Structure formats: structure tokens, C-alpha cells
Amino acid sequence: MTQYENVPENFYEYKFFKHDRMSTKFYVIAVWTLLSFVVKVNAQDKVECWDRFELSFKQVTKGNPFDTRLSATFICGKEKKTVEGFYDGENTYRIRFMPAVAGEWRYVTSSSIGAMNGRKGTFTVVPAGKDNHGMVLVDGEHNFKYADGTRYYPMGTTAYAWTHMKETTQEATLKSFGEAGFNKVRMCVFPKNYSLVKDEPALYPFEIEKTIKDKEGNERKEWDFDRFDPAFFQHLEKRIDQLNRLGIEADLILFHPYDKGRWGFDAMSNEVNVRYIKYITARLASFRNVWWSMANEWDYVKAKTVDDWKLLTKTVVENDPYRHLCSIHGATATYFDYWMPEFTHVSIQDEAPVLSSTASATLRKIYRKPVICDEVGYEGNLPYRWGRLSPQQMTYFILNGLLGGIYVTHGECYQQGNEPIFWAQGGSLKGESWKRVKFLRTILEAAPYPLEMADISRDLVTSTAGPDYYLVNMGKDVKGFWTFNLPVKNADYNKLQKNKRFKVEIIDVWAMTVTEYPVIFETTEELDYRVFDIHHRGVRIPDTPYIVLRITEVK
């Protein structure tokens, strides 16, 4: 709906007063006074749960429009939430709200500008559609779910600066995301300046105050940190919405060290950092597929201390009325205080936890929060040790993490001529591990419950996904034969009993095949904390690595 409010009947007469009827000073004051009472309000009548309801105001204001205070309180029954508004350029202010409850909602605005203050209205929230599961939340201690209760297993990738590349590369990146079946992507808000990534973005988060040249003749921009560039954020929002339509969560990295003085976004004062956080949360918190990653390799950002990171993290959480997922990411094996209540999950860069499933399982036991190894290295051909994993090794790391009950983010960095490197610039995928990520996601989603080790520290290969549901990891060695045997302990589920009948499926992760073995096994009585097949049978395994056995009860 559109509304024009508080327009004086003789406004146009006032507006066209001749100068000889008043002084120039009085004329200017009169025009500004009248403009402050003219506001065009736009709002929807109906939205789905977890979609965005938006109020927009066309309003001319004096001074810096980014300093204008604007918020709204939304009420439906016992549900009540206050959200901040923001200036979006071209005399437009917006308030965005993500309702989580169906029903009739009402709102009232509050503003330092009289024409936007005390505006009231109502709208209807209807149940979510079939592809709308809401925002992702923590499920219990170690896992995730959507707001509607649907399980969510993060099977994502990394493309740090993809939204800062040329348009054709961005479109190719979106196509790759869709083909790969990723459901999360790690991406930076600020552009990236790195030895392999030197692209100059078309848009910047702040207005350019002036451009100067250094002694070498290189241009350097100086920013007006009091004024954001709405076009930059509008473009980011467009891409986040496109990810949402693909079912992908945008794990937004708010700060990073890959600047090195080129733009100076890594060395802003905390006053500017807080202002930026308040602005971006006002704009993006209503996007249901947003996560907050405080930083990538936070310890390399030399302008910030641990206390600074804690302050900025608290600022994000305090200004996010919906409590989106939030974490921080360090350099290799650099851990933060992930026990902070502001952090919903652990986001780390470390290979050690995925060298085996039990290492992964131990890490999650320590933190008692969901753990994501957001960087264990990248499949690629770079000379650096972090960027030259074989596709098999990348797949093996992901598999070990999943079977240990944590999650592992995919990454790819093949350098081929002038083509974009996916890990930073996006573009087209060139490797092989991404195909196995998509396959493993189907294995996870077919299980009745999330995976974890069945008998942690005692059994190094057996994982469970519920009562009488197991995955046994043969690893990257060729086994040839596996004698049927399972631990009696089954995590927190009931212990495994005798006379249970099981079928075995051979999952070839690399070949991406599932083959049922033509034997039904039956368990014996417990023998030294394990059960075996009553006929002492086993499974003939293909002479290839990366085999997982799925063992499920036959009713």
C-alpha cells in the first residue's frame, strides 16, 4: 500500500511563494519545514513467515541522513520486537522486519523526524511456503535446524570476494553454486586485496571523500566514514536473495585482514566499526539466510585486539533482533573463546581435527557447540600447502569430519591462466571434490538423526545416526574384507542387543554409488563390548579407498 500523510492543503501555494513576499532566509526555513511533514509510506499487506516485511519512507531531511534515528515496534499477540531502520539513499528510509509467527501484526514507528514518527499500520503474516524453512538455528548441542524444525546440515564452500568481481563472473558463480548443491557459502562483505586477488570492485561500502595519488603515482581513495554507499549494500542484498532462492546460507565475513592499506577497511576505528555493524545489521538481519562471521583469520587483523573482537561481537548480537548464527574464524589452529554466549557455533581453520573422525568427535565434546571446520585446506594446484590438496584428500577430510559429528567446508583454488580462482573470485568449479560433497549431503539427509561417533575414543571407525543405524569408515586404505562387528555402545541411544538383523550397503564415496550387500547379518550376544554376526560372516569390500558401510536394522 502507499500513503501520503500530513500534506497541508495549501502546500503548493506555500512552496511557490515569491521572494518579494518573504525574505530568502524565511523562504528556506518554510520549505524545509513543509518538506519535513511530507512522507510517502510504502508497505506490503501480506508476507510469509520468515520473509521480509518492509516499510519505506520518501523523506527529505537536513544534515547527514545516516544520522537519522528510525525504528519500529512490531506486535502480534505476545510477540513483540523492535527493529532499527536505515537510510537507503535518494531520500528513502527503510525498516525491515522478519516475522516468525503467522497472524495479524501491527506496528508503530519511532523517529527523530516528525513525519516518520508515530506511523501506525497493520499487515498479515501467512504460514511459510514449502521452500521456506526459516532461518538456521542451533539444534541441541552439536547440530543445526531450520526454524520450522527441518534438519540442516551445512555442506558449503568458500568464495570470499565473489560479489566484488565483474558481473559475468558473479553470474557464473551463482550457476556453480546451484549445480554443486551447496547450502552455505563463506563470503566477505569488504573487497579482498591478496597476491592472487587484485580485482578492483565497482562499488565500495563508504562514499569516496577524495582520491589522492601517492609518490609512485598510485591512486588511493579516502572515505567519508560517516556516509555509506547504499548501492554497495543493495548489490550485496541482491546476491544474498539470489543465494536464498538456491537454498544457500550466506555466511557473511564482516571483517578480514586482506586489505594491507589498499582501502583501509581493516584498520578503521572502533567508532566506525560499530557504526558499520549497526548499519549492516539494520539492513540485513531480516534476511533469513544470513549468518554473521565476525572475521576471517581474526588474528591477522593487526589493528584489532581480542577485546576489540569481543566488543564488536557483542555489538552484532545486540543489534540483531533475530539472533542469527554468529562465530569468528582464526588462522590455522588459532582458536578464540568460543564459549562466549554470543557465539552460536565454532568456526575454525585447522586440519588436525579432520585427520581422523575421533579427532573431530573430541573437538565437539570440548566445546559442546556445533563445530564447523571452515577451512581445512583447498583442493587445487597452488604452490602453497593450504592450496594444493588433491580432490581425494579434500573429500577424505570432509568425510572424517562428518563421521565424527562436525561439519567441514569445501574449498577449491585451481589456477588456470587468467580464469577466476574459485576460493576467492568464484566463477566455474574445475575440481572433483565438490561432486562428492553433493553426494555426501544426500547420505546425511537420508539418515534419521545427525551423525556422531558410536563409542568415542574406543571405536575409531564406527559412527551412529540413531538406533540401529551405523556408518563404518574404511578410510583411504584398501581393506578387502570386513568382519561384521559393531560396538555395543551406541552414543546416547540404547545399547545394541543380540538377535538384531542388519543389512549392509557399500557406499563408494569417490564413485558416488550405493550397493546393497546380498547378506542379512544377525548379532550375537555381547563379547568384550562388541557384537558379531552369529555365523561369523563379513563383507567383501571393493579394492578401492573411501568406502563407507551403511548398516541398518532389517525389521
pLDDT in tens, 6-63: 433 333 222 333 334 344 444 444 444 444 444 567 888 999 999 999 999 999 999 9
* Model confidence pLDDT, tens digit, residues 316-374: 999 999 999 999 999 999 999 999 999 999 999 999 999 999 999 999 999 999 999 99
pLDDT of residue 371: 98
Closest CA to 310 of 296, 290, 328: 328
pTM of the model: 0.92
Question: What are the start-end ranges of the H helices in 43-196?
Answer: 167-180
How far apart CA 257 and CA 309 sit, in angstroms, is 13
b (16+ CB within 10 A) / e for 132-163 = bbbbbbeeeebbbbbbeeebbbbbbbbbbbbb
How much is the average pLDDT of 266-288?
98
| pLDDT for position 212 | 87
Find, among 342, 390, 387, the residue nearest to 369 by Cα: 342
Residue 188 has pLDDT above 90, yes or no: yes
Give the dihedral sign, CA 304/307/309/312: negative
How far apart are the C-alpha atoms of 146 and 184, rounded to whole Å?
13
Average pLDDT, integer, range 246-267: 96
User: Could you tell me the pLDDT band of residue 495, with boundaries at 50, 70 and 90?
Assistant: very high
Q: What gap in Å lies between CA 227 and CA 276, rounded to an integer? A: 10
Whether residue 92 contacts residue 56, with contact meaning beta carbons closer than 8 Å, is answered with yes
Report CA-CA distances (Å) from 84 to 42, 69, 71, 116, 285: 17, 8, 4, 13, 10
> Rg of the chain over CA atoms, in angstroms?
28
Q: Which amino acid is at 252?
A: L
d(CA 113, CA 97): 20
For the chain, give the percent of residues with pLDDT over 90: 89
Mean pLDDT, the chain, whole residue set: 93
Residue 521 cell numbers, joined: 547379518
